[in-house]
Amino acid sequence: RDALARHLPGSEVIVVANREPYIHERRDGVLRVQHPASGLVTALEPVVQATGGTWIAHGSGAADREVVDRHARVRVPPDDPAYTLRRVWLTAAEEEGYYYGFSNEGLWPLCHVAHTRPTFRGGDFAAYRDANRKFADAVCEEANGPDPVVLVQDYHFALLPRMIRERLPRATIITFWHIPWPNSERFGICPWGPEILEGMLGSSILGFHVQAHCNNFLDSVDRYLEARLDRERQSVVLGGQETLIRAYPISIDWPTRWAADAPAAPLCRERVFADLGLAPDALLGVGIDRLDYTKGIEERLLAVERLLERFPQFRGRFTFAQLAAPSRTRIPRYQELNRNVEEVARRVNERFGEGDYRPIVLLREHHEPPTVFRYYRAADLCYVSSLHDGMNLVAKEFVAARDDEAGVLVLSRFTGASRELGEALLVNPYDLEEASSALAAALAMPREEQRERMRALRTFVSEFNVYRWAGRMLVDAGRLRKRDRVSGRIT
Residues contributing to the site for ligand F6P (CB under 6 A): 19, 38-40, 154, 178-179, 290, 327-328
Contacts within 8 Å (CB) and 24+ apart, 371-375? 371/323, 372/258, 372/288, 372/323, 372/397, 373/258, 373/259, 373/261, 373/262, 373/268, 373/397, 373/401, 374/262, 374/263, 374/268, 374/271, 374/272, 375/268, 375/272, 375/286, 375/288, 375/321, 375/323
For 287, counting Cβ atoms within 10 Å of its Cβ (0-12 exposed, 13-18 middle, 19+ buried), the class is: buried
3-class secondary structure, 229: strand
Nearest distance in Å: CB 176, ligand F6P: 10
Instruction: Give the separation between CA 63 and CA 29, rounded to whole angstroms.
Output: 11
For ligand F6P, which is the closer residue by CB, 99 or 352? 99
- The bridge status of strand 235-238 relative to strand 241-247 is antiparallel
Nearest distance in Å: CB 214, ligand F6P: 18
Instruction: Give the separation between CA 405 and CA 452, rounded to whole angstroms.
Output: 8
Identify the helix (H) or strand (E) that includes residue 172: strand 172-176
Spatial contact of 16 and 87, defined as CB atoms under 8 Å apart: no
Nearest distance in Å: CB 303, ligand F6P: 23
For ligand F6P, which is the closer residue by CB, 49 or 60? 60
Spatial contact of 178 and 215, defined as CB atoms under 8 Å apart: no
One-letter identity of residue 176 = F
Instruction: Give the separation between CA 455 and CA 452, rounded to whole angstroms.
Output: 5
3-class secondary structure, 21: coil
For ligand F6P, which is the closer residue by CB, 40 or 362? 40
Alpha-carbon distance values, 378 to 133, 288, 404, 451 (Å)? 46, 13, 11, 16
For ligand F6P, which is the closer residue by CB, 124 or 154? 154
For ligand F6P, which is the closer residue by CB, 170 or 364? 364
For ligand F6P, which is the closer residue by CB, 96 or 309? 96
For ligand F6P, which is the closer residue by CB, 108 or 352? 108
Reference 59, options 69, 72, 48; nearest CA is 72
For ligand F6P, which is the closer residue by CB, 366 or 451? 366
Which residue lies nearest ligand F6P, judged by its C-beta?
38
Spatial contact of 198 and 161, defined as CB atoms under 8 Å apart: no
Instruction: Give the separation between CA 28 and CA 187, rounded to whole angstroms.
Output: 47
Nearest distance in Å: CB 304, ligand F6P: 24
For ligand F6P, which is the closer residue by CB, 147 or 420? 420
